[in-house]
């Protein structure tokens, strides 16, 4: 199967698994697998398919219950929907028991090497599809086949099984279906539906289906009433009331082509048999050997032994909305006079996203098919969130029982209107959860339309309960980032973003509530959201360089100061700093003192709330030229870092004492001239001595 479990029973192309039981014994062969997504057929159901061929000693001298037999059962050992282990009490999904020479099957005979007459049939095609309410992905099932000798010990039984899988084997395939039970009154009719398919990869010519008249379990034949091809082809029928076989010619079947036809028969008059057996129908074609269909059995019941299962859809709300959780229920009641065996209660056509859940009987879990006592009601829950609008979804609730002879009331329908609406949802994730006291706070919240229809009226997007001093601001809608106000449309997929800002003025915890909505928004579960915003006292160190003179002169003493103040609502107790860089060459930061105590202060010391640190700056600039002083401050827990830094430009000039004045230039010139004159007179004296 799709989960890759190794087959115990070989698939097509292998050697069939077969075994022989010795006298006085029965042998069995079993395989258990978990069903996966790949096991779901094209019709949306999971099918268990296999081929079986019995070879049983022809012990016609024994009664039916004493002859060799074969039996095949399919049980569920784990239910994925309820996560229930059923291995200790498996749920039976399918069971067939057939004995050698049983009426209604085309038994053939041969004499083996031991001179024992063997009764056998051609390979029989089994196709078990209990339905989605019974068999689902994730369930674990076990197929068990049994071959048994006769009860007297003189005859053995053999069984061959092949193709155990969920996929159809290659070739021609045929199945039949019929009511589980009908009345045993003379004149009662049974309608059989035969389905044929070419599962191979090449066309098959001359496809024929032959159908003998079914027989009751005592061997009396039903009689022909009518036959109707549903997908083309032609059928050759016997006269009405005849016990002769019918046949249908479907010509050439292309790969994957399938069809069906109906045949109606009338049960034998005055029959006392408990059932009618239909196991003598087969399909074949050019170069394709005949495949026999599995026996279909219909119980014959008297009026006193019947149930009457009837569904009820009154618990299903008639309307649903996409994106909004939907809940309801449907039920199936046994109005008959006796218990319904193998009863079912199922719903199809539920809106996409909505599924049938656990069924209960008298408050206890009920897993179909199972017994429903007379007068009792099975209630099945329905829940889910519709995912797509579909106008009106027609839900069909059907029920059955193996002894329900009134199938006319086994089905009922209900229409569920699935509407598309807007679905506004608010989110407060853009609001910071901490708000420092007396420090500017900003954030945002959003309202988005997650529905399948535009919100065109009654729209809103707001918050309440913001910290004191903080207010909601303007809103914009994206895409496009255009301005938005309450009442404006919000298209499908659009998001409204609203700003929040202000300076909290009081410490404490605020519960912020965001709300949104629209006139047609019926999913109010996501229209409200809350978030806690805590306003806490924190230090807030700010630096001021205004005490530094804006200019300096080279070679002239310079002095000033800068201030670092804790403007916050809590003391700065660790990681404190107050410093400047970029001072003119020759100028440096000096000692710092904290007010109001005027005590000495250094980096790392505490700065109480409201206190100021003043640091001196002094020195004699050694060079002119402009400079930019950068100041910084801070503390551990300082949430407002926007005022932790500042700069101040200082203009530098050359000192006037270093530049000669006009009179000074004159004195310098005279001194130079006098020096030159003195030097000249000295030379003359040396050259003209007295």
Give the model confidence (pLDDT) of 236-254 as tens digits.
Answer: 999 999 999 999 999 999 9
Highest mean pLDDT among 189-193, 638-642, 671-675 belongs to 189-193
Give 273-299 as a 3 state SS string: CCEEEECCEEEEECCEEEEEECCEEEE
Q: Are 368 and 317 in contact (CB under 8 A)?
A: no
Each residue's pLDDT tens digit, 479-495: 999 999 999 999 999 99
d(CA 261, CA 229): 4
List strand residue ranges (DSSP E) for 567-642, in order. Answer: 577-581, 587-595, 599-601, 612-619, 627-634
Q: Return the percent helix, strand and coil in the chain, to nearest 5.
A: 5, 50, 45
What is the model's pLDDT at position 165?
Answer: 86
Block residue for tokens 């005490």: 547
State the average pLDDT over residues 623-627.
Answer: 92
pLDDT classification of 390: cutoffs 50, 70, 90: low
Whether the CB-CB separation of 68 and 58 falls below 8 Å is answered with no
Q: Which residues contact 419 (CB under 8 A, 6 or more apart)?
A: 319, 320, 321, 322, 389
User: In this structure, what DSSP letter does residue 16 have?
Assistant: P
What are the angstrom distances between the C-alpha of 245 and each of 218, 235, 237, 241, 253? 19, 11, 7, 11, 23
Region class of 4: left (phi > 0), else alpha (psi between -120 and 50), else beta? left
Taking 90 as the threshold, does the pLDDT of residue 672 lie above it? no
Residue 301's nearest CA partner among 276, 319, 280 is 276
Mean pLDDT of 223-241: 95
Predicted pLDDT at 15: 38
Residue 3 contacts residue 101 (beta carbons within 8 Å):
no
In 3D, which of 216, 409, 389, 385 has the Cα closest to residue 309? 409
Is pLDDT of 73 > 60? yes
Q: How confident is the model at residue 22 (pLDDT cuts 50, 70, 90)?
A: low
- At residue 6 the predicted structure's pLDDT band, cuts being 50, 70 and 90, is very low
Average pLDDT of the residues in 96-109: 90
Furthest CA-CA distance within the chain: 188
In this prediction, residues 190-214 reach a mean pLDDT of: 96
Residue 688 — very low, low, confident or very high, per pLDDT cuts 50/70/90? low
Q: Give the per-residue pLDDT at 660.
A: 53
pLDDT score of 5: 33
Return d(Cα 70, Cα 158) in angstroms, integer. Answer: 8
Least confident piece of the model among 276-290, 385-399, 404-418: 385-399
Report DSSP state, residue 678.
H
pLDDT score, position 36? 93
Q: Of 568 and 517, which is predicted with more confidence?
A: 517
- Check pLDDT > 80 for residue 143: yes
Question: What's the predicted TM-score (pTM) here?
Answer: 0.58
Is residue 261 pLDDT above 50, yes or no? Answer: yes
pLDDT of residue 670: 56
For residue range 280-316, list pLDDT tens digits in order: 999 999 999 899 999 999 999 887 788 999 999 999 9
Q: What are phi and psi of 239, to 5 degrees?
A: -70, 150
Least confident among 246-250, 644-648, 676-680? 676-680
| Partners of 30 in beta bridges | 144
**pLDDT category of residue 13 using cuts at 50, 70 and 90:** very low
- How far is Cα of residue 549 from the mean position of the Cα atoms in its chain? 70
Q: For residue range 575-613, list pLDDT tens digits in order.
A: 999 999 999 999 999 999 999 999 999 999 999 999 999
């Amino acid at each position: 199967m799709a989960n890759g479990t190794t087959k115990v029973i070989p698939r097509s192309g292998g050697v069939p698994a077969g075994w022989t039981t010795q006298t006085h014994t029965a042998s069995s062969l079993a395989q258990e697998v978990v069903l996966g997504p790949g096991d779901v057929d094209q019709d949306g159901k999971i099918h268990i398919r296999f081929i079986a061929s019995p070879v049983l000693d022809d012990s016609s001298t024994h009664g039916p219950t004493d002859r060799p037999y074969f039996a095949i059962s399919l049980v569920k050992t784990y239910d994925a929907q309820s996560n229930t282990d059923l291995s200790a009490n498996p749920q039976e999904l399918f069971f067939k028991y057939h004995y050698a020479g049983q009426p209604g099957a085309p038994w053939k005979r041969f004499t083996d090497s031991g001179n024992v007459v063997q009764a056998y049939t051609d390979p029989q095609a089994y196709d078990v599809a209990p339905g989605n309410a019974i068999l689902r992905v994730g369930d674990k099932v076990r197929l068990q086949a049994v071959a048994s000798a006769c009860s007297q010990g003189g005859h053995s039984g053999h069984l061959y099984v092949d193709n155990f899988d969920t996929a159809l084997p290659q070739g021609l395939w045929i199945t039949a279906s019929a009511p589980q039970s009908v009345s045993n009154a003379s004149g009662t009719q049974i309608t059989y539906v035969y389905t044929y398919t070419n599962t191979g990869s090449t066309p098959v010519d001359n496809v024929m289906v032959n159908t003998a008249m079914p027989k009751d379990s005592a061997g009396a034949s039903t009689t022909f009433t009518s036959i109707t091809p549903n997908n083309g082809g032609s059928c050759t029928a016997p006269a009405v009331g005849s016990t002769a076989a019918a046949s249908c010619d479907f010509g050439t079947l292309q790969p994957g082509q399938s069809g069906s036809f109906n045949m109606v028969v009338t049960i034998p008059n005055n029959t006392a048999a408990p059932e009618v057996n239909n196991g003598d129908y087969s399909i074949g074609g050019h170069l394709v050997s005949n495949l026999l269909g599995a026996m279909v059995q219909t119980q014959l019941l008297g009026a006193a032994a019947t149930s009457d299962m009837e569904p009820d859809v009154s618990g299903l709300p008639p309307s649903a909305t996409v994106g909004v959780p939907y809940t309801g229920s449907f039920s199936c009641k046994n109005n008959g006079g006796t218990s319904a065996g193998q009863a079912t209660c199922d719903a199809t056509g539920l809106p996409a996203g909505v599924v049938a859940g656990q069924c209960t009987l008298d408050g206890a879990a009920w897993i179909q098919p199972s017994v429903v006592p007379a007068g009792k009601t099975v209630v099945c829950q329905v829940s889910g969130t519709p995912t797509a609008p579909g106008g009106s979804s027609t839900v069909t609730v059907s029920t059955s029982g193996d002894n329900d002879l009134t199938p006319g009331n086994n089905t009922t329908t209900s229409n569920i209107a699935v509407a598309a609406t807007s679905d506004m949802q608010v989110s407060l994730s853009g609001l910071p959860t901490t708000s420092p006291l007396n420090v500017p706070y900003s954030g945002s919240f959003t309202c988005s339309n997650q529905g399948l229809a535009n919100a065109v009226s009654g729209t809103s997007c707001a918050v309440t309960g913001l910290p004191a001093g903080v207010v909601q601001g303007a809103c914009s809608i994206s895409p496009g980032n255009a301005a938005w106000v309450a009442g404006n449309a919000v298209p499908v997929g659009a998001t409204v973003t609203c700003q929040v800002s202000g300076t909290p003025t009081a410490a404490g915890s605020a519960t912020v509530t965001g709300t949104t909505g629209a006139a047609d928004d019926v999913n109010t579960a996501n229209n409200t959201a809350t978030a806690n915003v805590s306003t806490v006292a924190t230090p807030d160190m700010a630096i001021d360089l205004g005490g530094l003179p804006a200019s300096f002169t080279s070679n002239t003493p310079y002095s000033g100061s800068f201030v670092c103040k804790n403007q916050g609502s809590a003391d700065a107790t660790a990681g404190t700093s107050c410093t400047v860089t970029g001072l003119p060459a020759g100028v440096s930061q000096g000692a710092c003192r904290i007010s109001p105590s005027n005590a000495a202060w250094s980096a790392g010391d505490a700065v109480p709330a409201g206190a100021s640190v003043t640091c001196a700056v002094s020195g004699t600039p050694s060079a002119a030229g402009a400079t930019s002083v950068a100041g910084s401050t801070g503390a551990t827990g300082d949430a407002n870092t926007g005022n932790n830094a500042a700069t101040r430009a200082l203009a530098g000039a050359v000192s006037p004492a270093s530049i000669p004045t006009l009179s000074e230039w004159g004195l310098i010139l005279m001194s130079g001239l006098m020096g030159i004159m003195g030097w000249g007179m000295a030379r003359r004296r040396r050259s003209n001595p007295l």
